[in-house]
Chains A and B, each alone.
Chain A
Amino acid sequence: MNRLQIKSSTLLSIGGSVAAVAVALLLGALVMSASGASPVEAYQALWDGAFVGRRSIAETLVYSAPLILGGLAFALSSRAGLFNIGIEGQLITGGFVAGLVGAWDLGLPGSVYVPLALASGALGGMVWGFIPGFLKAKTGAHEVITTIMLNYLAMRGITYLVLRRDDVLPVDPSFIATQKVVDAAKLPILLDRTRLHLGIIIAIVAALVLWYVLFHTRFGYNVRAVGLSKGASAYGGIKWGATVTIAMALAGGLAGLAGAGESLGLHGRHWATAPGYGFTAIAVGLVGRNHPLGVIFSGILFGALNAGGPSMQSADVSKEIVQLIQGFIILAIAALEVVNRLPAIRSRLARRSAAQKAGA
């Protein structure tokens, strides 16, 4: 009986996400039709580009890796009750630090160098996540503003370092990037003749670890309690400030890992540009219902949209429609949340179903 109940609530939120995605795809189709293209052809091309053939699937997974990690970062902060718009900044900070460490050529073997470079990237993101968490806990400074500022600060700061400090850092001003990562620090390629690197494995492992931490450890319990009820968690002896700060730092670490994967696995260096994954990560987290396992699937979904997007060109639809669809998905999720949140309806429904089950 209890297994059934878990399933019914899980199914409900999966259903909600699927419905939101469906509505968004439908709206996307309307936009395409309005612009004179054929949505059926476009979606067919999108599907082919994302899932048909070895290379397509590899590309989908390549795009999925940073999105899953970013989505996990968003999910973790949200579980603690914070809206983390700073994933972009945390991600590029991680990517930059990992790129530097990878480019320094420390003469280490791969088995040491790769974990070291990844860890330093995660640490970079962690610092960038710690700052807004700490400020929130100490002064109440709203994380939305502080993280946006930190995004720009990261972007400008890295640009400065990359352009002007080639005297002390392994950077390449002519490329506006770090120098090439040495081979020993590169993430191994998983599939020959594709760009599929270790990043996707890291992302999935991170999701499983986060799932375990959130639902099977006291720390995860504290995070969720703090996010759901400040009053009850205080009553339960859980320290809000410390919990929020650590959660934000760890979220930054996940985002930093995403950036590190891009530098060490995909590009072989850190480009001082903003990939825009920070905002997509929000959508990934929302669609995945801020559940680490859900985030794996929504990350792959968004990875597929990004990987397959260019293929829609063949149906005269530009890949930018993907961003539009992402926006629609968030709107649809927000609209569903409204229905969900109406507490009267919800508790009445829940009580009725509980009563039915108790009676059964």
Chain B
Amino acid sequence: MTTASRASAPAVEMRDVRVSFGPVIANDAVSFSVEPGEIHALLGENGAGKTTLMRVLAGLIQPDRGELRIDGSVVTIADPQAARRLGIGMVHQHFMLIPRFTVTENIILGNEGDGSVLDRQSAAREVRKLSEAYGLLIDPNEKVENLTVGLQQRVEILKALYHGSKILILDEPTALLTPQEIEDLYGILNRLKADGTTIIFITHKLKEVAAVSDRVTVIRRGKTVGERITAGTTGQELADLMVGRGVSLTVQRTPATPGRIILSARNVTAKPIHGHTELEIEKLDLRAGEILGVCGVEGNGQAELVEVLSGLRRVQSGVIEVNGKDMSHGDPNEYRAAGLSYIPEDRHHRGLVLDFPLWENVLLGNAQGEPFVHNGLINKRRTQAVTRNLMQEFDVRAPSPNTAARSLSGGNQQKLIIAREMFRDPDVLLAIQPTRGLDVGAIEFVHKELVRVRDAGKAVMLLSFDLDEVLDLSDRIVVMSGYRIAGEFVAGDVTRNQLGLLMGGRTSNESAAD
């Protein structure tokens, strides 16, 4: 075990760092320190600002203010080359590898040695030597496109080592790995540590913090909220720090009166968007008059679940019913006809055609027939009139139905989507990250609207990566982890910490024991 403090200066020190993108502050007043030769976990929820902070170290983002020290001396890291010169290497969550290049070509790119002519053989020998020295076994002449994700990650790590990195940052390195590959990775990291490499390990999984790190810094909503020696803390304490005791916006609502099942999924499986873990939903029911909250860390099958439930993704096996009708192989239009509405997570690429005027966006998904379309012809006047009414009813602030959706603020865009989706008077509403990127006023509006829909006897599914939001609004909560539903609770019967542990990959039993 590494000792907590040493006489020598920290390998990395960030003091009072602040990063903003326009009006959005991603990191603020961050202080972060890593001792030489330790494995330091950077723990936080999705969107907490972990990756942004580390991109500062990698020279990809310039901070507004703050001080960076490497081995005790103040530095500025203007670009990736500067980071490389300082011995900082980063393994991104999305690998920066060229699939058609060989392992060796990827590793030497940008640092090919003297002269114009490549000496692939000696480069390959060097790569092989390096890979053997660290136990990162790999064929230097294999093409990267033929490697598994786990092996590709080795290439990224080797690349960093080849460029002389003494400080290695890994961003969510286990996200796409199989359990066996994760074990291998831990072994590799420990060998690197033994060799004196300093490692920063970005994660949202408590299990990983315990398994691999010496110390851990927790970051929440852009700020560092605590630093612990891993051996001296508990999963409970870390979960607490990670999710906070959030000051939630209070939403006025009465207890739910759940009615009949409107949407049900049984033994549904589907292929994933990336990676190779299949979505497997044994049982999921949405009931009338109830908000079902879905929480979990991003990339645990939520996107696939939503696509499956809305007809955008083909079901491999299993049955989905809406209002008792088998929809397993339905397309989005058929789902809509069966009574489903869907607020997508991505306003700009799914929810709206930004260059269309508002009234044509109201038509999106509503163009199958009456009242807007008759015999294939669009009733423009009626659509515009309806749009005008919806704008009034849902407080969409825009000059007219002819305004381009692009010119609206995020909040007004979201209100327009909600207005459109409510217009059909659906029986079930999927609301995916419905408040992402909105200001407080718009968030309140969306929350009230979801409760109103519930109270009108509809089934609502609220999927959010913001645990507070899920807790505030849901009558029932399911946790997604590893492309499965890891637990289901009645809202009052579960604590934030239990959920946090499940989200972090603990099993239901483990979390109950904690």
Direct contact of A and B (CB under 8 A): yes
Tell me, yes or no, whether B4 is within 8 Å of chain A by CB. Answer: no
| With contact pairs A229-B349, A354-B399 given, residues A235 and B407 touching in the complex (Cβ less than 8 Å) | no
Max count, chain B CB within 10 A of own CB: residue among A1, A225, A232, A353: A232
User: Shortest Cβ distance from A5 into chain B, in angstroms?
Assistant: 6
User: Shortest Cβ distance from A105 into chain B, in angstroms?
Assistant: 39
**Which residue of chain A has the shortest Cβ distance to B332 in the bound complex?**
A237
Rounded to whole angstroms, the CA-CA distance of A234 and B335 in the bound complex is 13
Rounded to whole angstroms, the CA-CA distance of A354 and B408 in the bound complex is 8
Tell me, yes or no, whether B351 is within 8 Å of chain A by CB. Answer: yes
> How many of chain A's residues have a CB under 8 angstroms from any CB in B?
30
Tell me, yes or no, whether A33 is within 8 Å of chain B by CB. Answer: no
Rounded to whole angstroms, the CA-CA distance of A286 and B109 in the bound complex is 41
**Which residue of chain A has the shortest Cβ distance to B347 in the bound complex?**
A232
Tell me, yes or no, whether A216 is within 8 Å of chain B by CB. Answer: yes
Interface pick from B32-40, B358-366, B498-506? B358-366
| With contact pairs A225-B353, A351-B409 given, residues A235 and B404 touching in the complex (Cβ less than 8 Å) | no
User: Shortest Cβ distance from A112 into chain B, in angstroms?
Assistant: 28
Q: Which of A9, A216, A229 contacts B353 (CB 8 A)?
A: A229
**Which residue of chain A has the shortest Cβ distance to B369 in the bound complex?**
A218
Count of CB-CB pairs between chains A and B under 8 Å: 95
A235/B377 in contact, CB under 8 A: no
User: Shortest Cβ distance from B227 into chain A, in angstroms?
Assistant: 38
| With contact pairs A231-B346, A237-B332 given, residues A1 and B312 touching in the complex (Cβ less than 8 Å) | no
Q: Which of A217, A347, A353 contacts B376 (CB 8 A)?
A: A217
B400/A235 in contact, CB under 8 A: no
A354/B364 in contact, CB under 8 A: no
Consensus secondary structure, chain B interface: loop
A-chain residues with CB within 8 Å of residue B367 when the two chains form the complex = 218, 221-222, 236
Tell me, yes or no, whether A51 is within 8 Å of chain B by CB. Answer: no
Tell me, yes or no, whether B352 is within 8 Å of chain A by CB. Answer: yes
B352/A237 in contact, CB under 8 A: no
B356/A235 in contact, CB under 8 A: no
**Which residue of chain A has the shortest Cβ distance to B409 in the bound complex?**
A351
Rounded to whole angstroms, the CA-CA distance of A147 and B373 in the bound complex is 34
A354/B407 in contact, CB under 8 A: yes
B-chain residues with CB within 8 Å of residue A347 when the two chains form the complex = 406-407
Max count, chain A CB within 10 A of own CB: residue among B332, B344, B373, B403: B403
Tell me, yes or no, whether A350 is within 8 Å of chain B by CB. Answer: yes
User: Shortest Cβ distance from B103 into chain A, in angstroms?
Assistant: 29
A-chain residues with CB within 8 Å of residue B378 when the two chains form the complex = 216-218, 221
Tell me, yes or no, whether A240 is within 8 Å of chain B by CB. Answer: no
Rounded to whole angstroms, the CA-CA distance of A224 and B364 in the bound complex is 12
Rounded to whole angstroms, the CA-CA distance of A222 and B364 in the bound complex is 9
A-chain residues with CB within 8 Å of residue B401 when the two chains form the complex = 2
Identify which of residues 371-388 in chain B touch chain A, using a CB-to-CB cut-off of 8 Å: 373, 376-378, 380
Rounded to whole angstroms, the CA-CA distance of A218 and B344 in the bound complex is 23
Scan B321-354; emit 1 where CB is below 8 A from any A CB, else 0: 0000000000111001000001010100111111
A237/B399 in contact, CB under 8 A: no
| With contact pairs A218-B367, A229-B354 given, residues A354 and B403 touching in the complex (Cβ less than 8 Å) | yes
Scan A334-360; emit 1 where CB is below 8 A from any B CB, else 0: 000000000000110011011001100
Rounded to whole angstroms, the CA-CA distance of A232 and B360 in the bound complex is 12
Rounded to whole angstroms, the CA-CA distance of A236 and B365 in the bound complex is 4
Tell me, yes or no, whether B424 is within 8 Å of chain A by CB. Answer: no
A2/B399 in contact, CB under 8 A: yes
Tell me, yes or no, whether B253 is within 8 Å of chain A by CB. Answer: no
Tell me, yes or no, whether A233 is within 8 Å of chain B by CB. Answer: yes
Rounded to whole angstroms, the CA-CA distance of A351 and B403 in the bound complex is 10
A-chain residues with CB within 8 Å of residue B403 when the two chains form the complex = 2, 5, 354
A216/B364 in contact, CB under 8 A: no
B351/A221 in contact, CB under 8 A: no
**Which residue of chain B has the shortest Cβ distance to A354 in the bound complex?**
B407
Rounded to whole angstroms, the CA-CA distance of A228 and B311 in the bound complex is 21
B349/A232 in contact, CB under 8 A: yes
A-chain residues with CB within 8 Å of residue B404 when the two chains form the complex = 9, 350
Q: Which of A6, A221, A228 contacts B363 (CB 8 A)?
A: A221
A221/B407 in contact, CB under 8 A: no
A234/B399 in contact, CB under 8 A: no
Rounded to whole angstroms, the CA-CA distance of A346 and B400 in the bound complex is 19
B-chain residues with CB within 8 Å of residue A229 when the two chains form the complex = 349, 352-354
**Which residue of chain B has the shortest Cβ distance to A2 in the bound complex?**
B400
User: Shortest Cβ distance from B397 into chain A, in angstroms?
Assistant: 6
A235/B406 in contact, CB under 8 A: no
Rounded to whole angstroms, the CA-CA distance of A98 and B514 in the bound complex is 81
Tell me, yes or no, whether A104 is within 8 Å of chain B by CB. Answer: no
Tell me, yes or no, whether B368 is within 8 Å of chain A by CB. Answer: yes
A-chain residues with CB within 8 Å of residue B332 when the two chains form the complex = 234-237
**Which residue of chain B has the shortest Cβ distance to A232 in the bound complex?**
B353
Scan A248-281; emit 1 where CB is below 8 A from any B CB, else 0: 0000000000000000000000000000000000
User: Shortest Cβ distance from B205 into chain A, in angstroms?
Assistant: 30
Rounded to whole angstroms, the CA-CA distance of A226 and B344 in the bound complex is 18
B residues sitting closer than 8 Å to A (CB atoms) are: 311-312, 331-333, 336, 342, 344, 346, 349-356, 360, 363-365, 367-368, 373, 376-378, 380, 397-404, 406-409
10 A-B pairs, CB-CB below 8 angstroms?
A2-B402, A5-B399, A221-B360, A225-B364, A231-B350, A232-B353, A233-B364, A235-B351, A236-B364, A351-B407
Given contacts A218-B376, A235-B350, A237-B336, 14 further A-B contacts (CB under 8 A): A2-B402, A5-B399, A217-B378, A218-B367, A218-B377, A218-B378, A221-B363, A221-B367, A225-B353, A231-B346, A232-B350, A233-B364, A237-B311, A353-B407
